[in-house]
């Protein structure tokens, strides 16, 4: 691993270098001015850069926001002795700027925090080496994917926090391209949305999931992401007909909607949701807290489940605000009688914390990555 430390305080830079050397094998370089970073990244491919915010001349914020994309490190860890607010907003800026990996840490940094960051970076690096290629598909490729059945489901297992029992799965669409291999949604969702094909994809994912569920033993819960476009036309009758064809009970299905997806609900959308709930179909508000209408949606729509977004879960042990937002979301779910699901659980310490505060279900790489149906069968056995 090739690490670059950008820190004007030479003593702190040396201390961080010593600490890093205890955790990794590789090259660790230090520079003390933001103006030198672009050249350093150009001369050497940097895996992970630890960057102080309060640098002389070009400060860390300006540096990270203007660093040319071709010279960026794979990942960046924002450091500061200033208020946590400054670290958080700079970290968010890095994510918005498109950095492959970003974290924010307030000084002083503990060995445990550093180990967690390095573990997260290693996991994310490994996940991108699974064959998923994110170059966007063309419009013609999207049409061929529908026509030739290239869209397939992988399944993210969901477990009870209290017992680690596998009780359900979330269907996640992939594209099995004949030449490029297995492609993640980043390769096709933007083009698919531009072509207004979201509803068409929903029905493909649903039918593929119902087919796959017939291959499994036991009564797994099934969660499926749904787009607002699918709700804007009458659809509940077609939904129940598919359930009947594959002999899958509607009450075992939960449809997931993000906050912005339900924000403009009209008469037809609400009628569809009411009909679905009449037959026991669950309704989850996904990525809770990341949109702009959380509380108003909970007051109006018949949600049964609240999914706490992974950006809160991932930082719950290191970031006070993320921890409080996680707790508040959980308390809200409990008070409204909703099932709570933690997304993106990556390590045992976070899982132990979720067990301590009483979250119902969790999903994430700590237990399993999204898997094809064959691997899901093996997990159940």
pLDDT > 70: what percent of the chain? 94
pLDDT at 128: 54
Q: Is the pLDDT of residue 274 over 70?
A: yes
Q: Is the pLDDT of residue 260 over 70?
A: no
Question: Which domains are present in the chain?
Answer: 2-127 (3.40.50.2300), 139-380 (3.20.20.450)
Check residues 43 and 262 and name the one with the higher pLDDT. Answer: 43
What integer best gives the mean pLDDT of the chain?
A: 89
pLDDT band of 287, cuts 50, 70, 90: confident
Q: Is the pLDDT of residue 183 over 80?
A: yes
pLDDT band of 2, cuts 50, 70, 90: very high
pLDDT at 321: 82
Give the number of other Cβ atoms within 10 Å of residue 62's Cβ.
Answer: 13
Exposed e or buried b per residue across 20-39, where buried means at least 16 C-beta atoms within 10 angstroms of its C-beta: beeebeeebebbeebeebbe
Q: Is the pLDDT of residue 337 over 60?
A: yes
pLDDT at 134: 58
**pLDDT single digits (tens) 75-126:** 999 998 877 778 878 888 888 787 888 888 888 888 888 988 898 888 777 6
pLDDT at 381: 79
Query: Which residue's structure tokens are 């009449």?
Result: 278
Q: Is the pLDDT of residue 20 over 90?
A: yes
Residue 278: CB partners within 8 Å, gap ≥ 6?
Answer: none
Strand-by-strand arrangement of the 101-106 sheet: 27-31, 2-6, 48-52, 75-80, 101-106
pLDDT band of 291, cuts 50, 70, 90: low
Task: Give the Cα-Cα-Cα angle 9, 11, 12 (nearest 5 degrees).
Answer: 70
Q: Is the pLDDT of residue 262 over 60?
A: no
pLDDT at 294: 57
Coil, strand or helix at 183: strand
pLDDT band of 264, cuts 50, 70, 90: low
Q: Is the pLDDT of residue 289 over 70?
A: no
pLDDT at 229: 86
Coil, strand or helix at 94: helix
Mean predicted confidence (pLDDT) in 33-45: 89
Pairwise CA distance, residues 296 & 322, whole Å:
21
Element spanning 102, H or E: strand 101-106
pLDDT at 259: 61
CA proximity to 359, closest of 344, 376, 369: 344
């Amino acid at each position: 691993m090739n690490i670059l430390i950008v820190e004007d305080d030479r003593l702190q830079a040396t201390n961080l270098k010593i600490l890093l050397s205890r955790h990794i094998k590789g090259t660790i370089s230090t520079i003390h001015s933001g103006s030198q970073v672009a050249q350093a990244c150009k001369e050497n491919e940097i895996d992970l850069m630890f960057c102080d915010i309060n640098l002389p001349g070009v400060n860390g914020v300006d540096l990270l926001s203007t660093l040319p994309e071709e010279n960026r490190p794979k990942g960046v860890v924002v450091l500061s002795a200033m208020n946590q607010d400054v670290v958080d907003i700079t970290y968010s800026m890095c994510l918005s700027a498109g950095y492959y990996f970003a974290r924010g840490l307030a000084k002083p940094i503990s060995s445990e925090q550093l180990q967690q960051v390095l573990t997260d970076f290693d996991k994310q690096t490994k996940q991108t080496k699974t064959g998923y290629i994110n170059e966007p598909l063309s419009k013609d490729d999207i049409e061929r994917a529908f026509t030739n059945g290239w869209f397939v489901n992988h399944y993210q297992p969901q477990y009870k926090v209290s017992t680690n029992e596998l009780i359900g799965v979330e269907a996640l669409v992939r594209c099995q391209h004949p030449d490029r291999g297995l492609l993640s949604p980043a390769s096709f969702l933007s083009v698919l949305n531009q072509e207004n094909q979201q509803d068409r994809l929903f029905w493909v994912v649903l039918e593929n999931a119902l087919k796959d569920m017939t291959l499994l033993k036991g009564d797994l819960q099934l969660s499926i992401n749904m787009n607002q476009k699918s709700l804007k036309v009458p659809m509940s009758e077609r939904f129940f007909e598919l359930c009947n064809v594959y002999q899958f009970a509607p009450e075992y299905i939960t449809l997931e909607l993000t906050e912005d997806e339900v924000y403009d609900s009209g008469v037809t959308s609400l009628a569809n949701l009411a009909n679905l709930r009449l037959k026991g179909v669950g309704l989850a508000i996904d990525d809770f807290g990341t949109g702009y209408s959380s509380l108003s949606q909970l007051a109006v729509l018949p949600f049964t489940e609240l999914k706490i977004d992974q950006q809160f879960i991932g930082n719950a042990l290191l970031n006070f605000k993320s921890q409080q937002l996680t707790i508040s979301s959980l308390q809200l779910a409990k008070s409204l009688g909703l099932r709570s699901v933690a997304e993106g659980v990556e390590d045992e310490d976070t899982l132990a914390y979720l067990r301590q505060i009483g979250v119902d279900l969790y999903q994430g790489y700590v237990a399993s990555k999204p898997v094809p149906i064959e691997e899901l069968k093996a997990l159940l056995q």
